[in-house]
């Protein structure tokens, strides 16, 4: 006979505001098999947990149902509490009264009735729960960091400094990411490259870090502590061991008119190239899409000029297979590209540029050596307009969110412009100034008060060219919505920060969740900001949402600590929620008939054949067997088995059947 305890949480007022918690507890107390029921303000708090623990001990409970928030939030908390009181943790289930009831329905009879139903369903399920023991698995203490921007660099260095091995992969020829493209950084105006390049060099020289530039993730298998990863190392067409990085080849390459990615198309590069002078590794790659030899079969000038014969035209991509214990995703973000703003003429008017392009114009290492000159004719713009929220906070264009970093970099851009172009006039069209951060607001005030940047509150409707000027049709909403037209020489769009175009595919490869905008999803918005829903995979930087440098760096260090925590253990425990093939007394041994159709249904190749032998060693029956190390507990085999011979612990036939029965019996 079951003795089940039901613990109904008010979650402050989050649940009790619309659900009559006392009635839920009272009604549940009358259910068959329920020995104790109570409601309490905060069940997850210390006194709340003590309430559960003492009830388990005093009433000798055999099962526990906590009716509170989502099990995805607190199931581990309450299972741990049960274990501490001596009850097997898998005898505890949660009814989701907050996310699935109180937060989504109005106060009323029907809402409380639903809460009671959910509790009853779980009470019935718990009756069929079984004590289970956690599974132990070993840990491979090497981390994979994907993406070599500032977040990936920081995470790699931090993990490497705890004494663990790191493999850092970067899809471009050099690490550095967007930060290496920036001119100065807010709110201090220190030079981006000056603070970044020492870190890049440290990565290259660190004994614990293996850097694979020009490499991408091919595939991932396995699970926390035990990933098997394939890395595609794209052919650089050079012998990296031989190449000294002298750069002779890049000066002699005849294909010189390729828009430089590093300079955001404002400068050119050659087909064999190093993206920028401070690149790490500082060795060239051949861009096969533009190289004359690969296109036409002739040229090979670089090969002729190379003093140490390091060019390898026939080099092929290689696949590196590595065993990994944890993964940090630090793949960063992109900015929206042309044709997204037809009303602003981006892509049509050369002097309408993006913020990232402005960074290159303002950078001492950029195409204009830091002078603000407009792309069309190289003139110094005397009137410049900065448009905030170009794409961001624009639901109609599919980007309702705030890109967060633009308010600050616009202030920086306007400030840099005023510093560099004396007598120039700058305008910022903005809707709100979001400058929450240490010394951020002060920085914006400085731009307005000391550098004389004209901030106009309103959005720009259209930009068009007239007699060599860019007419910016805006509005000043603080002047009773007065239309404002400005004749500008150059316009800078604070383009929205968006997820990389391959983010979705990468997320699918790794089985991590992503949001509606393809940014990777954290496991909990507050308490698990660097974890993903897939154990052992962590997030750092702007791949999770647009963020600035200090935030990316702190997040990277946070992810690194999570990896270090994981690597501090030699073994991990895993939930035993896995499939099991039933066993029976001889001569049947199992209801499994060995058709093995489950084998192809299993996504993890976790089902094997097991031979039952008699004393003479003859095979008398062949059955399916689930390898507990490989099974991840999806249950695809369970629903497929005709004889119901496989069952899934934690979600057994009896448990699920009972839930459905309980669901409707007293609906």
Partner 1 sequence: MDELIKRAKELLEAGTVKVVIGYENGSADKTRALFAIEPKDADKLIFDSRCVMNLATYITKAEVKGKGKMAITATLPVMRAIIQLASEFQVNDSNLLVLGITPESKMIEFKDLAEVEAFVHKYTIEIEAKYSEKLEKLDKMTPSERWSFWIEELSPCFKCYACRAACPMCYCHKCTVEFNQPQWIPVPSHDLGNLEWHMMRAIHLAGRCIDCDACYNACPLGIPLNLLTKRMLIDAKEHFGGYQPSIKADHLMSTYKPDDKDNFIM
Partner 2 sequence: MTLGFYPGCSLKGSSREYAESVLAVAKAFDITIEEIKDWNCCGATAAHNMNRELSFALPARILSLAEKQGLTEVVVPCAACYSRLTVTQYELAKDKELKDRISEVNGMEYKGSVTILNIIQMLDKYITPKLEGKVVKPFDHKVACYYGCLLVRPHEILKFDREEDPQSMDEVMLKAGATPIDWAFKTECCGAGLSISRTPSVGKLSGMIVGDAKDRGAEAIIVACPMCHSNLDMRRKEINKYLGEKVDIPVLYITQALGLAVGLDRKELGLNRHFVKVTV
Partner 3 sequence: MAEFEPKIVAFVCNWCTYAGADLTGTSRIKYASNVRIVRFPCTGRIDYMLLVKAFDEGADGIIVSGCHPNDCHYTSGNFHARRRWIMFRSLCDFIGIDIRRIKFSWVSAAEGAKWADIVNSTVAAIRELGPYEEYQKVAKKPVKEVING
Give the interface with partner 1 as residue ranges (CB under 8 A).
Answer: 588, 591, 593-601, 622, 640, 642-645, 653-654, 657-658
The interface partner of residue 596, options being partner 2, partner 1, partner 3, none and the CB cut-off 5 to 8 Å by kind, is partner 1
Q: Decide: is 106 part of the binding site for partner 3 (CB under 8 A).
A: yes
Is 532 one of the binding residues for partner 3 (CB under 8 A)?
Answer: no
Instruction: Write down the least CB distance from residue 283 to partner 3, Å.
Output: 36
Do 636 and 605 form a contact (C-beta atoms < 8 A)?
A: no
Which chain residues interact with partner 2 by CB under 8 A? 342-343, 348, 464-467, 471
Q: Decide if residue 516 touches partner 3 (CB under 8 A).
A: yes
Q: Token pair for residue 601?
A: 């249904």
Q: Please, which residue, 224 or 471, has the CB nearer to partner 2?
A: 471
Q: CA 124, 126, 130, 136: dihedral to nearest 10 degrees? A: 140
Alpha carbon separation from 412 to 211, 354, 428, 501 (Å, rounded): 33, 14, 11, 28
Contact partner at residue 72 from partner 3, partner 2, partner 1, none, CB < 5 to 8 Å by partner kind: partner 3
Q: Of 453 and 648, which has the nearer Cβ to partner 3?
A: 648
Contact between 236 and partner 3 per CB under 8 A? no
Residue 643's binding partner, choosing from partner 2, partner 1, partner 3, none, with beta-carbon cut-off 5 to 8 A by kind? partner 1
Position 76 contacts partner 3 (CB under 8 A): no
The piece of 257-265, 395-403, 412-420, 650-658 that touches partner 3 (CB under 8 A) is: 650-658
Angle at 581 between CA 575 and CA 587, to 5 degrees: 145
Which DSSP category does 276 fall into? S
Least separation in angstroms between residue 584's CB and partner 1 is 9
591 binds, options partner 3, partner 1, partner 2, none, Cβ within 5 to 8 A by partner type:
partner 1
CB 180 within 8 A of CB 201: no
Does 218 interact with partner 3 (rule: CB under 8 A)?
no
Instruction: Select from 634, 557, 549, 437 the least CA-distant residue to 181.
Output: 549
Q: Does 104 bind partner 3 (CB under 8 A)?
A: yes
Strand order in the sheet with 482-488: 462-466, 469-476, 482-488
Cβ 497 to partner 2, closest distance in Å? 23
Burial of 74 from C-beta contacts in 10 A (0-12 / 13-18 / 19+): buried
Tokens of 125: 């399920």
Return the residue of 244, 300, 319, 657 that touches partner 3, per CB under 8 A: 657
CA distance 114 to 98: 11
Question: Shortest gap between Cβ of 663 and partner 3 (angstroms)?
Answer: 5
Structure tokens at 223: 């699970």
Could you tell me the smallest distance in angstroms from the CB atom of residue 397 to partner 2? Answer: 12
432 binds, among partner 1, partner 3, partner 2, none (CB under 5 to 8 A by kind): none
When asked if residue 70 is in the footprint of partner 3 (CB under 8 A), the reply is yes
- 8 A C-beta contact, residue 158 and residue 562: no
The structure tokens listed for 109 are 């009879």
Q: How many residues bind partner 3 (CB under 8 A)?
A: 55
Please report how close the Cβ of residue 652 comes to partner 1 at its closest, in angstroms. 9
Do 481 and 343 form a contact (C-beta atoms < 8 A)? no
Rounded to an integer, what distance in angstroms lies between the CA atom of residue 336 and that of residue 495? Answer: 6
Q: Cα–Cα distance between 54 and 51 in angstroms, integer?
A: 5
| Residue 225, H or E segment | none
The residue among 268 and 599 lying less far from partner 1, judged by its C-beta, is 599
Nearer to partner 3 among residue 243 and residue 543 (C-beta)? 543
Q: Which of 55, 61, 101, 475 binds partner 3 (CB under 8 A)?
A: 101
Q: Are 518 and 499 in contact (CB under 8 A)?
A: yes
What minimum distance in Å lies between the beta carbon of 635 and partner 3?
3
Eight-state DSSP code of residue 373: -
Residues 193-212 that bind partner 3 (CB under 8 A): none
Q: How far apart are CA 642 and CA 19, in angstroms?
A: 42
Q: How far is the CB of 620 from partner 1 (least distance, A)?
A: 11
Question: Quick one: 369 exposed, middle or buried, by C-beta within 10 A (0-12, 13-18, 19+)?
Answer: exposed
Nearer of residues 485 and 570 to partner 2, judged by Cβ:
485
> Of 480, 452, 380, whose CA–CA distance to 420 is shortest?
380
Please, what is the minimum distance in Å from the beta carbon of residue 222 to partner 3? 12
**354: β partners:** 493
Neighbours of 263 (CB within 10 A): 23
Residue 466 or 615: which CB sits closer to partner 2?
466
3-state secondary structure of 220: strand
Which residue, 298 or 466, is less far from partner 2 as judged by CB? Answer: 466
Query: Which position among 639, 642, 643, 654 is part of the footprint of partner 3 (CB under 8 A)?
Result: 639
Q: Cα(533)–Cα(531) distance, rounded to whole angstroms?
A: 7
Question: Which residues of this chain interact with partner 3, rule CB under 8 A?
Answer: 70-73, 96, 98-101, 103-106, 110-111, 114, 117-118, 121, 507-508, 511, 513-516, 521, 525, 533-534, 577, 601, 603-604, 632-636, 638-640, 648, 650-651, 653, 656-657, 659-661, 663-665, 667
């Amino acid at each position: 006979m079951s003795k089940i305890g039901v613990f109904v949480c008010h979650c402050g007022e989050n649940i009790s505001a619309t659900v009559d918690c006392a009635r839920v507890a009272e009604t549940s107390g009358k259910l068959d098999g329920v020995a104790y029921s109570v409601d309490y303000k905060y069940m997850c708090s210390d006194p709340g947990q003590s309430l559960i623990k003492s009830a388990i001990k005093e009433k000798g409970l055999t099962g526990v149902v906590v009716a509170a928030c989502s099990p995805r939030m607190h199931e581990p908390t309450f299972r741990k509490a049960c274990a501490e009181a001596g009850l097997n943790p898998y005898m505890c289930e949660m009814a989701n009264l907050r996310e699935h009831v109180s937060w989504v329905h109005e106060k009323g009879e029907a809402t409380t009735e639903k809460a009671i139903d959910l509790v009853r369903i779980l009470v019935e399920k718990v009756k069929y729960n079984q004590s289970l023991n956690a599974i132990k698995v070993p840990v491979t203490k090497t981390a994979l960091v994907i993406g070599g921007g500032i977040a990936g660099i920081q995470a790699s260095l931090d993990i490497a400094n705890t004494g663990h091995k790191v493999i850092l992969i970067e899809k471009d020829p050099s690490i550095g990411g967007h930060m290496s493209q920036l001119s100065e950084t807010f709110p201090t105006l220190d030079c981006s490259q000056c603070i970044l390049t020492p870190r890049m060099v440290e990565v290259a020289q660190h004994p614990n870090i293996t850097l694979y530039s020009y490499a991408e993730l091919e595939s991932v298998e396995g699970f926390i502590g035990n990933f098997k990863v394939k890395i595609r190392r794209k052919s650089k067409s050079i012998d990296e061991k031989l190449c000294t990085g002298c750069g002779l080849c890049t000066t002699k390459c005849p294909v010189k008119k390729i828009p430089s990615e590093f300079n955001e198309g404002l400068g050119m590069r050659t087909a064999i190239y190093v993206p920028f002078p401070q690149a790490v590794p500082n060795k060239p790659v051949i861009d096969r899409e533009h190289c004359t030899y690969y296109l036409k079969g002739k040229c090979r000038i670089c090969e002729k000029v190379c003093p140490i014969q390091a060019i390898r035209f026939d080099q092929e991509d290689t696949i590196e297979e590595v065993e990994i214990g944890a993964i940090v995703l630090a793949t960063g973000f992109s900015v929206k590209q042309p044709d997204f703003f037809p009303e602003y003429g981006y892509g049509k008017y050369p002097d309408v540029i993006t913020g990232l392009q402005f960074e290159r114009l303002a950078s001492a290492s950029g195409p204009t050596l830091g002078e603000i000159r407009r792309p069309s004719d190289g003139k110094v713009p005397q009137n410049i307009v900065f448009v905030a929220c170009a794409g961001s906070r624009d639901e109609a264009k599919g980007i309702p969110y705030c890109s967060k970093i633009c308010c600050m970099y616009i202030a920086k851009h306007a400030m840099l412009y005023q510093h560099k172009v004396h007598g120039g006039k700058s305008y910022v069209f903005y809707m709100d100034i979001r400058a929450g951060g240490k010394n951020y607001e002060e920085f914006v005030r400085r731009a307005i008060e000391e550098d004389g940047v004209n901030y106009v509150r309103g959005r720009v409707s259209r930009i068009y060219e007239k007699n060599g000027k860019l007419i910016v049709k805006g509005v000043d909403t603080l002047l009773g919505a007065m239309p404002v037209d400005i004749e500008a020489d150059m316009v800078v769009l604070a383009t929205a920060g968006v997820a990389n175009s391959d983010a979705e595919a990468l997320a699918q490869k790794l089985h991590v969740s992503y949001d509606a905008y393809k940014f990777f999803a954290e496991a909990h918005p507050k308490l698990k900001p660097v974890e993903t829903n897939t154990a052992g995979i962590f997030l750092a930087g702007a791949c999770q949402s647009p963020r600035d440098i200090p935030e990316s760096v702190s997040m990277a260090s946070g992810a690194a600590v999570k990896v270090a925590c994981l690597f501090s253990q030699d073994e991990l425990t895993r939930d035993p929620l896995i499939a099991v093939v039933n066993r029976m007394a001889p001569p049947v041994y199992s209801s499994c008939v060995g058709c093995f159709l489950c084998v192809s249904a299993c996504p993890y190749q976790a089902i094997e054949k097991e031979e039952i032998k008699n004393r003479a060693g003859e095979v008398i029956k062949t059955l399916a067997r689930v390898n507990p190390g490989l099974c991840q507990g999806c249950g695809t085999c369970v629903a497929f088995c005709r004889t119901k011979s496989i069952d899934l612990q934690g979600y057994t036939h009896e448990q699920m059947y009972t839930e459905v029965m309980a669901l409707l019996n007293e609906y």
